[in-house]
A = this chain, B = another copy of it.
Amino acid sequence: MPMTPLYEQIANDIRAKIASGEWPVGHQLPSHTELQTQYKASTTAVRNALLLLGPRGEGLVDGQQGKGRYVVRKP
């Protein structure tokens, strides 16, 4: 039975928020540390989720150093 890993759950949750319109294009995502506390996850789990959703993956979100991560596209 394939259990879903934590980083996959986080990615699915964020993807769902973007798809539903709760986080529209241009919306700023919570900071890395906030995501950690929200999902009670480590840096790696959050980072892996964002790596899959990021520019080198699905391309739904993108981040800029010092500013934050933003939704760039709907799934």
Binding site for B on A (CB under 8 A): 8, 11, 44, 48, 51-52, 56-57
Q: Kindly report how many copies of this chain are found in the complex they form together.
A: 2
Q: Is the interface of A mostly helix, strand, loop or mixed?
A: helix
Complex CA gap A52/B51 in Å reads 8
Cβ contacts under 8 Å, A56 to chain B: 8, 11, 52
Q: A11 contacts which chain B residues (CB < 8 A)?
A: 56
Central interface residue in A8, A11, A44, A56, by most chain B CB within 10 Å: A56
A14–chain B nearest beta-carbon distance, Å? 14
**B-side contacts of A52, CB under 8 Å:** 51-52, 56-57
A11 to B52, CA, bound (A): 14
